[in-house]
Amino acid sequence: MIYLDNQASTPLAPEARDAMLRHLDGPDGTNYANPHSSHRMGRQAAASIEVARERVAVLLPAGGQVIFTGGATEALNLAIRGSGEGKVAFSAIEHSAVGDTVRATRPHHELNVDQDGICDPAQKLPADTSMIAVMQANNEIGVVQPSADWDRRAKEVGALHLVDAVQTYGKIQVTEADLIAVTAHKLYGPKGIGALWVRDGVRLTQQQSGGGQEAKLRSGTLSPALIAGFGAAAQVAADRMEEDAEHTKLLWSRARELFSDWELNGSGEHRWHGNFNIRREGLDASRLMSECRQIMFSAGSACASGSGRPSHVLKAIGLTDKQAKSSIRLGWGRYTTLDEIEEAARVINAAVKEQEAWA
């Protein structure tokens, strides 16, 4: 099997796994205390959480606080629901964790993207905009937004700037913002743990009441093992950021050659090179998926694999339904090899030829 679905989730880094096992087992099997208890075992668990918090924070701007959550969806909900009632301007290609939450809870304005998938920071904003949400890189097409310009624009209009940095955290420098959502499982860490970074001075209201953990913003007992895994993954990412980016770009260059007769969806220039969303006229992408079962990739037309929801992202960049249904997304990362890219291209291109022969 060849795994090319790194935008959906990444393999667990061995360093993250080791850190988690150490926290589950403990040196003498006694590492199960509640990190919010004030006895010695509780304080040990709390200390390991603080070490991980520092590691997670290293990849985020200075001058803010890391609030652990159950993932980015929860972090984004806390940011959007917890930051007041004013109008939210959000890009047409935000993940549903932003788009659906904004639509359900706040007055809103959708920001356009161009055919490359770029959301232009010079575009018109409603006068009463109180929050701007433009993700740093898109999960479907990998396009990287001019986030620093959006941050300046937000400051000019006096709006809070929320960035969904799920796809970029630990891979490219995360932008300045007021609120940043991240998650461990796109960074070779475990699923079920993420964080909201909150700039000092930004006021949020809690969205669930209880024990008042995480600066009274996110009640609930923290999981030292998940957080240790997140911290270890962040530390490895910080150490290898350049090396990982180079490796990703190498695979990108080879993939461009191997799929040279496919069209790229989204900007070729402003992008994370681990995301390859491509289309080919007349292709039935969902049939292709069933014909290439040994390759784990996704049909570009679906918002989330298997959701059946058509991609609002491909629509927003101007693709027709037919073009969207002829699109696939290949996503590679740190542990993908050149041989795997070669083999995936061989299998996919052979299946495409077969489809075309019978068309």
Per rule CB under 6 A, is residue 77 in the interface with ligand PLP?
no
Per rule CB under 6 A, is residue 167 in the interface with ligand PLP?
yes
Q: Which of 303, 316, 324, 351 is catalytic?
A: 303
Per rule CB under 6 A, is residue 190 in the interface with ligand PLP?
no
Per rule CB under 6 A, is residue 143 in the interface with ligand PLP?
no
Per rule CB under 6 A, is residue 166 in the interface with ligand PLP?
yes
Interface with ligand PLP (CB under 6 A), residue from 31, 73, 77, 168: 73
Is the Cβ of residue 181 or residue 283 nearer to ligand PLP in the bound state?
181
Place of tokens 């570009």: 300
292 is catalytic: no
In this structure, the number of other CB atoms found within 10 A of the CB of residue 12 comes to 18
Distance in angstroms (rounded) separating the CA atoms of residues 211 and 290: 47
Is the Cβ of residue 164 or residue 244 nearer to ligand PLP in the bound state?
164
Is the Cβ of residue 181 or residue 352 nearer to ligand PLP in the bound state?
181
> Considering the complex, what minimum distance in angstroms separates the CB of residue 224 from ligand PLP?
19
Is the Cβ of residue 31 or residue 91 nearer to ligand PLP in the bound state?
91
Q: In sequence order, what are the residues at sequence separation of 6 or more whose Cβ sits closer than 8 angstroms to the Cβ of residue 229?
A: 12, 16, 17, 19, 20, 23, 184, 189, 190, 193
> Considering the complex, what minimum distance in angstroms separates the CB of residue 174 from ligand PLP?
13
Interface with ligand PLP (CB under 6 A), residue from 31, 83, 101, 139: 139
Per rule CB under 6 A, is residue 183 in the interface with ligand PLP?
yes
Per rule CB under 6 A, is residue 194 in the interface with ligand PLP?
yes
Site string for ligand PLP, 86-115 (x = CB under 6 A): ---------x-x------------------
The size of the chain, in residues, is: 359
Per rule CB under 6 A, is residue 229 in the interface with ligand PLP?
no
Residue with the CB atom nearest ligand PLP in the bound state: 71
> Considering the complex, what minimum distance in angstroms separates the CB of residue 115 from ligand PLP?
20
Contact 142, 266 (CB under 8 A): yes
Backbone Cα Rg of the chain: 21
Positions 280 through 299 that interact with ligand PLP (CB under 6 A): none
> Considering the complex, what minimum distance in angstroms separates the CB of residue 28 from ligand PLP?
33
Report which of 304, 59, 317 is spatially closest to residue 194, judged by C-alpha positions. 59
Stretch that binds ligand PLP, among 38-46, 53-61, 102-110, 164-172 (CB under 6 A): 164-172
Is the Cβ of residue 31 or residue 298 nearer to ligand PLP in the bound state?
298
Local structure of 90: helix, strand or coil: strand
Q: What DSSP line would sit under 118-153, residue for residue?
A: ---TTS---TTEEEEE--SB-TTT-BBP-HHHHHHH
Per rule CB under 6 A, is residue 164 in the interface with ligand PLP?
yes
Is the Cβ of residue 73 or residue 311 nearer to ligand PLP in the bound state?
73
Q: Degrees (nearest 5) of the Cα angle 278, 265, 353?
A: 25
Distance in angstroms (rounded) separating the CA atoms of residues 131 and 160: 4
Stretch that binds ligand PLP, among 67-75, 105-113, 209-217, 316-324 (CB under 6 A): 67-75
In this structure, the number of other CB atoms found within 10 A of the CB of residue 110 comes to 17
Helix (H) or strand (E) holding 77: helix 72-81
Cα–Cα distance list, 223 to 26, 122, 215, 274 (Å): 14, 42, 16, 30
What residue type is assigned to position 125 of the chain? L
Place of tokens 């496919």: 262
Distance in angstroms (rounded) separating the CA atoms of residues 140 and 145: 13
The phi-psi region of residue 127 (left if phi > 0; otherwise alpha if psi is between -120 and 50; otherwise beta) is: alpha
The phi-psi region of residue 188 (left if phi > 0; otherwise alpha if psi is between -120 and 50; otherwise beta) is: left
> Considering the complex, what minimum distance in angstroms separates the CB of residue 14 from ligand PLP?
21
Catalytic residue positions, numbered: 303
Residues that bind ligand PLP (CB under 6 A): 71-73, 95, 97, 135, 139, 164, 166-167, 183, 194
